Amino acid sequence: MSSDSKNIVKLDQVCFRYPGATEGNYALSDISLDFKRGQVVGVIGNNGVGKSSLLKIIAGIIEPTSGRVLVNTDSISLLSLNLGFDQMLTGEENAILQGMLMGISKDRIYGALDKIKEYSGLQNSFYKQLKTYSTGMISRLSFSVTTVLESDLLLIDEVIGVGDNKFRKFAQSTFEENKEKRKTIIVVSHNLKFVDEISDVVVLLDNGILDKVGEGKEIIKYYRNNYGN
Amino acid sequence: MQLKVKNYLDLTLFYTKAYLLTEFRKNYLGIFWVFIEPACYFGIYYLVFGFFLGGREEGFAEYLMTGIASWHWFNKSLLSCSSSIYSAGKIIKKVNINKLVFPVAKSLSDGFKGLVMFTVLTVFLMMIKGQGVNFLLLVIIFLLNFIFILSLNLVVSLLVPFLPDLRSLMPILTMGMMFCSAIFYYIAVVPEKYRIFLYLNPMYHIITTWRSVYNQGDIELFVIGVIALFSMMLIVLSILLERKLSKVLPLYVL
């Protein structure tokens, strides 16, 4: 852990190569980054450039092949919509399961169930099996669990593009709420407009290499001009 | 984030409950199937081997039912658990979690069904034989059966992501084990020189112990001890293996 409490994540010359990949074929190569507490960081780049691998390394799910990762909190969630969700379980049961998978204690989850139900707007559907839910309802449930059972560091991997406009508005207000609470959010997305609206800093990856880091509008403009997006 | 021990315990128990609920909710009769299935099995075996083919061997139906109950639990649990880590890929790729949660929870849910099955069998045997059983010995053999199944489930489920062919190989291996467990025949019919295959198979000893408990016969404590020790060693090996492979497993699962 870093002694600098302002930095919540520090990556130092991180390289990652998938098992079986040829020598020199790195998914991430020599990545050095610092993220400060309370920052909202957007990670952009074309498909297969290492964005998801970067999040997994920060979350501690996989280890870098070389380099160092320092994460200054134990409270990390990698938000994946419908994490561990089961169609045969109720919304409430799935909320408990997702909370437990996020590493939250059972008591805290049970204490927050009413708030999750209220935040999701699911009302009595909260107690019905997930197989009766629409995609939007499932997304709202998952987002509500993550928001109500807040973590210091929230990692979000491409979940914004999946819902309709109503869900995107719901997601955006959730992001704003997290921002106000000084939670650090690192979000991977292809939705450049969304990334621009919410991010303090944007990281552009290209074939596993850190191409540019900086203010959102500048990086997105550079990305559009140089990568034809 | 690595979950704390208490959280792991809660998560494992919740998953155990979730596995059972998911299964029960797929049927109209729900939880009652846990009782109905073994009761039907035992009823049919008793009718066929104890009644229609009754004159064949005294007590053969009871002998068969005990063997099948233990084998059914072992075989069903091992085959369903073998993919428990592999198929939990969506979760393992998103959460830094101890991967043994899945096979342990699956083994516990199968253990619950095993408990119900042996409860039904015990009541059934007590009724038809008109004699009691030593409940302490029943608990001991039940725990031994559970620990042995759990230990194999843990090891196999950790290996399957790296050796997916194991999923196809397991039914063949368990079939071989089944024929070396003396479920459908008495060991007396096996030539002396081939009995070693049965003696080397822990399931043969577990099934034999179940039968001894129901028949108020002698229990081979040494054999029980060896199987328990072997199972504990496999469990410890699985814990060490999971620690070693934890960060690599997300790259090999579905």
Q: Mean pLDDT for chain A?
A: 87
- Whether residue A129 is predicted with pLDDT greater than 70 in this model: the reply is yes
Q: Three-state SS for A31?
A: strand
- Whether residue A159 is predicted with pLDDT greater than 90 in this model: the reply is no
Mean pLDDT of A160-177: 71
Measured from the Cβ of residue B48, the count of other Cβ atoms closer than 10 Å reads 13
Q: Give the gap in angstroms from C-alpha A218 to the nearest C-alpha of chain B.
A: 31
Find chain B residues with C-beta within 8 A of A88's C-beta.
21-22, 25-26
Mean pLDDT by 10 residues, chain B (254 residues): 79 96 90 85 80 71 90 94 92 90 97 94 90 91 97 97 93 94 91 95 97 89 96 98 93 85
**What is the spatial distance between Cα A122 and Cα A145, in angstroms, rounded to a whole number?**
12
| Of A55, A58, A56, A53, the residue nearest A69 (C-alpha) | A58
Q: Is B247–A86 a contact, with Cβ atoms under 8 angstroms apart?
A: no
Q: Is A89–B18 a contact, with Cβ atoms under 8 angstroms apart?
A: yes
Mean pLDDT of A36-52: 91
- So what's the pLDDT on residue B2? 53
Q: Please, which residues 128-187 of chain B have a Cβ atom closer than 8 Å to chain A?
A: none
- Residue-by-residue DSSP string for B169-206: HHHHHHHHHHHTTTSSS-GGGS-GGGHHHHHT-HHHHH
Q: Is B11–A100 a contact, with Cβ atoms under 8 angstroms apart?
A: yes
Those residues whose C-beta lies under 8 Å from the C-beta of residue B172, and which sit 6 or more positions away, are none
Q: Give the gap in angstroms from C-alpha A45 to the nearest C-alpha of chain B.
A: 20
**What is the spatial distance between Cα B253 and Cα A61, in angstroms, rounded to a whole number?**
13
Please say whether the beta carbons of A171 and A140 come within 8 A.
Answer: no
Q: Is A105–B10 a contact, with Cβ atoms under 8 angstroms apart?
A: yes
Orientation of helix B166-179 relative to helix B135-159, angle to 10°: 150
**What is the spatial distance between Cα A177 and Cα A189, in angstroms, rounded to a whole number?**
19
Question: What does the DSSP 8-state code read for residue A117?
Answer: H
Find chain B residues with C-beta within 8 A of A104's C-beta.
7
Q: Does B193 contact chain A (CB < 8 Å)? A: no
Least confident stretch, A11-25, A202-216, B35-49: B35-49
**What is the spatial distance between Cα B99 and Cα B119, in angstroms, rounded to a whole number?**
31
> Does the ipTM exceed 0.90?
no
Tokens of residue A133, six digits: 């839910």
User: Which tops the pLDDT comparison, A168 or B21?
Assistant: B21
- So what's the pLDDT on residue A160? 62
**What is the spatial distance between Cα B78 and Cα B70, in angstroms, rounded to a whole number?**
12
Q: Does B21 contact chain A (CB < 8 Å)? A: yes
Mean pLDDT of A106-125: 94
- So what's the pLDDT on residue A2? 40
- So what's the pLDDT on residue A3? 42
Q: Is A103–B3 a contact, with Cβ atoms under 8 angstroms apart?
A: yes
For A158-227, the three-class secondary structure string (H helix, E strand, C coil) is CCHHHCCHHHHHHHHHHHHHHHHCCCEEEEECCCHHHHHHHCCEEEEEECCEEEEEECHHHHHHHHHHHH
Please say whether the beta carbons of A194 and A40 come within 8 A.
Answer: no
Q: Is A61–B94 a contact, with Cβ atoms under 8 angstroms apart?
A: yes
Tokens of residue A147, six digits: 């928001």
Q: Does A86 contact chain B (CB < 8 Å)? A: yes
Q: Please, which residues 172-211 of chain A have a Cβ atom closer than 8 Å to chain B?
A: none
Q: Is A86–B22 a contact, with Cβ atoms under 8 angstroms apart?
A: yes
- Residue-by-residue DSSP string for B5-45: HHHHHHHHHHHHHHHHHHHHTTSSSTTHHHHHHHHHHHHHH
Find chain B residues with C-beta within 8 A of A19's C-beta.
248, 251-252
Residue identified by tokens 């155990």 is B16
- So what's the pLDDT on residue B236? 98
Q: Three-state SS for B212?
A: helix
| Of A82, A71, A52, the residue nearest A153 (C-alpha) | A71
- Whether residue A7 is predicted with pLDDT greater than 60 in this model: the reply is yes
Read off the pLDDT band of A162 (50, 70, 90): low
Please say whether the beta carbons of A54 and A28 come within 8 A.
Answer: yes
For residue range A53-87, list pLDDT tens digits in order: 999 999 999 999 999 999 988 778 777 766 778 99
How many cross-chain Cβ pairs, A to B, lie less than 8 Å apart? 80
Read off the pLDDT band of A229 (50, 70, 90): low
Read off the pLDDT band of A193 (50, 70, 90): confident
Question: What does the DSSP 8-state code read for residue B48?
Answer: I
Q: Is B250–A102 a contact, with Cβ atoms under 8 angstroms apart?
A: no
- Whether residue A1 is predicted with pLDDT greater than 60 in this model: the reply is no
Residue type, A47: N
Q: Is A89–B21 a contact, with Cβ atoms under 8 angstroms apart?
A: yes
Q: Does B5 contact chain A (CB < 8 Å)? A: no
Please say whether the beta carbons of B80 and B149 come within 8 A.
Answer: no
Find chain A residues with C-beta within 8 A of B10's C-beta.
100, 105-106
Among the partner residues B2, B94, B247, nearest to A78 by beta-carbon distance: B94
Please give the residue of chain A at the shortest CA–CA distance from B22: A88
- Whether residue A98 is predicted with pLDDT greater than 60 in this model: the reply is yes
- So what's the pLDDT on residue B56? 60
Residue identified by tokens 């990698």 is A78
Q: Does A76 contact chain B (CB < 8 Å)? A: yes
Among the partner residues B7, B21, B96, nearest to A100 by beta-carbon distance: B7
- So what's the pLDDT on residue B47? 82
- Side-chain-side CA neighbours of A1 within 13 Å: the count stands at 8
**What is the spatial distance between Cα B225 and Cα B147, in angstroms, rounded to a whole number?**
12
| Of A205, A162, A196, A226, the residue nearest A43 (C-alpha) | A205
**What is the spatial distance between Cα B70 and Cα B114, in angstroms, rounded to a whole number?**
8
| Of B36, B39, B217, the residue nearest B125 (C-alpha) | B39
For residue range B197-214, list pLDDT tens digits in order: 999 999 999 999 999 999
- So what's the pLDDT on residue A191? 85
Cα–Cα distances in Å, from A26 out to A15, A56, A65, A208, B59?
7, 15, 9, 7, 66
Q: In what order do the strands lie in the sheet with A209-214?
A: A66-71, A7-16, A28-36, A209-214, A201-206, A40-44, A184-188, A153-157, A76-79
